[in-house]
Amino acid sequence: MIAESVGREARRQLLGELVRAWVDEIPEGELASHYAKAVADLDEHDLSMLAAWHASMEVGMPVANKEFLMGAFQGLGDNRREALRIAAGLRGEDAFAAGVAEEQALESVLPWLSRERATELAAECLELYCWDRLGSDN
């Protein structure tokens, strides 16, 4: 209901919160496979953006291609979740631009979330709703 009641920018932020919640819940051993799926769907522009982020992590000379990004993933250590958030977020932005409904995103993410994380996400959604309805520039 909240996604249907807010403006475009709040919906975009809601999608970002969904991605963040989903990545937080992925077991450590599954991060690489989810990263591979996210990277596989990125276009050249998104690959360049992700490679630029990798450059800030100093994991070698970044190359904007899938092979480099996958090879560098394990070397990111504690930053692997952030790399996945960025890759999945870029993919989510493309889906958002293509008109994928927030309801579809919710349906695919909610089953992965613990009850505690789903409750946190609901609180974040209420904050976004209030932000949007109380005067953001949407």
Predicted confidence at residue 70, as pLDDT, reads 93
Distance in angstroms (rounded) separating the CA atoms of residues 101 and 104: 5
For residue 138, is pLDDT > 80? no
Has residue 101 been placed in a domain?
A: yes
How many domains, the chain?
1
Contact 96, 15 (CB under 8 A): yes
Q: How far is CA 131 from CA 1, 12, 39, 74, 116, in A?
A: 15, 13, 32, 38, 23
Model confidence at 94, in pLDDT bands (50, 70, 90)? low
For residue 105, is pLDDT > 60? yes
Has residue 118 been placed in a domain?
A: yes
Has residue 74 been placed in a domain?
A: yes
For residue 32, is pLDDT > 80? yes
For residue 96, is pLDDT > 90? no
Has residue 138 been placed in a domain?
A: no
- What residues make up the domain containing 50? 2-133
The pTM of this model reads 0.77
For residue 18, is pLDDT > 70? yes
